[in-house]
Amino acid sequence: MTATLTPRAERFFLLTLAGIQFSHVLDFMIMMPLGPILMQAFGIGTHEFGLLVASYSFSAAVSGILAATFIDLFERKRVLLACFALFGLATLACGLAPGFATLLIARGLAGVFGGIMGALIHTMIGDAIPFSRRARASGVVSSAFSLSTIAGVPLSLWLANHLGWRAPFALIAVLSVLFIVVGMRFLPELRHHMDEEKRGHLLSATFNVLRDANHLRALLFSALIIFSGFTIIPYITVYAVNNVGIAQADIPIVYLVGGTATFISARLIGHWADRYGKIEVYRRIALLAMLPLLAVTHAGTLPLGIWLIFSTTFFVLVSGRMIPAMAIIASSAQPKLRGTFMSLNGTVQSLAMGLATTLAGFLTGLDGSGKIVGYPLVGYVAVAANLLAIWFVARIVMHGRTPPAAADR
């Protein structure tokens, strides 16, 4: 069952979710391009930087488990905005952190609330948008990733270069306040899931999710996709600067070009997935994504123009997989358990992010000249996980198809 929204209300609903997604995606993404700056500021290596990135993911995983015990008991809008407010405070704490240890703790707190928000956003899409338009809706919300790379990351890096690394976190805190106000105005109340029969105990919904074999297949699929991307993503900027020879001042250009391309491609991919079949479109994009997975991890010294081709293709295809994938994952859940399922999915994705980042941190290191070694091996690990996800996706059954598309069987 989905909520009924007018076309205008649906448009504002999705744009508001995209704005909220923009804030918390930017908070997570900014750590990667800030890598060289933070490593220099704190005198840390790839292992410590990987821990700084992974702390967000591991905290999000824990919060996802906790959220699964209560998230379907409450109205969606109130939970989302409450978590968003706490997320804004945690992000502000990141900007005020006096040292590495306190920044690590603050990143963990941001992950606690960011993890719940990410799960809730996709839960609300599943609750409010019919299956036939769900991939396009995911594409609209996923455009937040593109906008954060087009505008958010370059602006944040400009602020970091001129005002210090703390400035981007202050910017995100301000954006959080703005989008909370917008959310109070344009997000509808979603409470139809609360009309289902009452659960027997606090963990009954979690157990019901985990007893469903289809749910478990979808969760494993989700983990494989995230793992294949996040072995590479946290270190891509450090590798570009240290190994490829891209100037730190040119990193905003990399994100600007890549973000512009994904802003265009995200909407197209969502449309194609709804028209030609979510599984079929996912498979094709994921197969193509293996090329940039290998290219960016094996590149030597390159001019900026060639690196832009590699990195932009990486942005478009690696992130593009997630549009049909999230529609598949959200549609695999039983509607009455969607909030619990998506919270557990957030936990699984966050664990996959953290494990991928940590593993890549151990597989790589810095040589005497400051270059990263071991990154090609990370690329092979990413490709292996990607191939497993491609093989596994056909085993997931999606709810809400009327009639089922042949490509989605």
Domain boundaries of the chain, sorted by first residue: 7-187+201-408
CA dist list (Å): 15 to 18, 137, 183, 216: 5, 10, 10, 31
User: So what's the pLDDT on residue 133?
Assistant: 73
Above 60 in pLDDT, residue 7?
A: yes
**What SS3 state is found at 365?**
strand
Average pLDDT over residues 7-19: 82
Report whether pLDDT(407) > 60. Answer: no
Architecture of domain 7-187+201-408: Up-down Bundle (1.20)
DSSP calls for 184-232: HHHPPP--GGGGSPPPSSTTHHHHHHHH-HHHHHHHHHHHHHHHHHHTT
pLDDT of residue 93: 93
Mean predicted confidence (pLDDT) in 330-340: 77
* Model pLDDT, residue 3: 56
Report the C-alpha dihedral over residues 309, 312, 313, 314, rounded to 10 degrees.
Answer: 120
Q: Which residues contact 265 (CB under 8 A, 6 or more apart)?
A: 316, 320
| pLDDT tops 80 at residue 237 | yes
Identity of residue 221:
F
> pLDDT band for position 405 (50/70/90)?
very low
Q: Residue 287's pLDDT band (boundaries 50, 70, 90)?
A: very high
Comparing 342 with 219, the larger pLDDT belongs to 219
- Provide, rounded to the nearest whole percent, the portion of the chain with pLDDT above 90: 26
Across residues 209-235, what is the average pLDDT?
89
Q: From the centroid of its chain, how far is CA 301? A: 29
Q: C-alpha angle 290/295/301, rounded to 5°? A: 175
- pLDDT band for position 406 (50/70/90)? very low
pLDDT of residue 402: 45
Kindly state the greatest CA–CA separation across the chain.
Answer: 63
Question: Which of 131-135, 185-189, 371-375 has the least mean pLDDT?
Answer: 131-135
Average pLDDT over residues 72-91: 87
Band of the pLDDT at 196, cuts 50, 70, 90? low
State yes or no: cis peptide before 403, omega within 30 of 0: yes
Does residue 174 carry a pLDDT above 80? yes
pTM confidence score = 0.70
Mean pLDDT of all residues in 2-7: 65
Q: What is the pLDDT of residues 384-399, one digit of tens each?
A: 999 999 998 888 887 6
Q: Please state which of the ranges 1-10, 73-82, 293-302 shows the lowest mean pLDDT.
A: 1-10
22-69 pLDDT tens trace: 888 888 778 877 878 888 888 877 778 878 888 887 888 787 777 766
